């Protein structure tokens, strides 16, 4: 027999009220993120986002920290100039740091360190200077980006009609064509 009352058991064996009580308990125990309308923007978010960007945080990282989606961060950047400015200044600071690190890696560098070892049962500490040699990949990347006209992978050579004919004729007569 079909039940039509509000407390009539359903196929799962729980009434609508019992299911509602269960949902309320679950939502109190586990906060839901990523559902429904995202949180409202707060001015203190600009400080948090700027600090994270200075430490290398991405838009995704910032969104995770603020408990919103990445698209919300992008929307806030377009609507709130102070938020956008904080992120851009932070990312510029991080980019400057990475650029300095790449330049150091390309040129090589030295740094003070300490070596710890054991000698005749005693721990001995020695101050040393370690050297990191220049890295060819870092050099290449630096030059390709800073001086692309000289260091790009693809070089363009322009030859007009008469020069092209002479170049082909020379190659044929030399036997290199």
Instruction: Dump pLDDT digits (tens) for 128-151.
Output: 999 999 999 999 988 888 888 888
Query: Is the pTM higher than 0.85?
Result: no
**3-33, pLDDT tens digit by residue?**
444 333 444 444 444 444 444 444 444 444 5
Range of lowest pLDDT (47-51, 101-105, 140-144, 171-175) = 171-175
DSSP per-residue letters across the chain: ----STT---TTS--HHHHHHHHHHHHHHS---SSSSPPPP-THHHHHHHHHHHTT--HHHHHHHHTS-HHHHHHHHHH-HHHHHHHHHHHHHHHHHHHHHHHHHHH-EEEEEEEEEEETTEEEEEEEEEEE---HHHHHHHHHHH-HHHH-SS------HHHHHHHHHHHHHHT--
pLDDT tens digits for range 80-133: 999 999 999 999 999 999 999 999 999 999 999 999 999 999 999 999 999 999
């Amino acid at each position: 027999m079909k039940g039509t009352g509000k407390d009539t058991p359903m196929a799962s064996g729980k009434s609508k009220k019992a299911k509602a009580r269960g949902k309320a308990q679950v939502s109190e125990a586990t906060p839901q993120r990523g559902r429904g309308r995202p949180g409202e923007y707060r001015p203190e978010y600009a400080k948090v986002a700027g600090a994270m960007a200075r430490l290398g945080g991405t838009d995704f990282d910032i969104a995770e920290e603020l408990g919103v989606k990445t698209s919300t961060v992008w929307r806030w950047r377009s609507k709130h100039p102070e938020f956008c400015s904080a992120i851009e200044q932070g990312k510029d600071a991080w980019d400057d740091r990475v650029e300095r690190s790449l330049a150091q890696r390309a040129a090589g560098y030295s740094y003070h360190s300490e070596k710890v070892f054991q000698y005749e049962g005693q721990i001995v500490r020695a101050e040393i200077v370690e050297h990191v040699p220049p890295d060819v990949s870092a050099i290449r990347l630096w030059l390709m980006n800073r001086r692309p006209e000289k260091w790009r992978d693809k070089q363009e050579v322009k030859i007009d009609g008469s020069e092209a004919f002479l170049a082909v004729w020379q190659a044929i007569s030399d036997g290199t064509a």
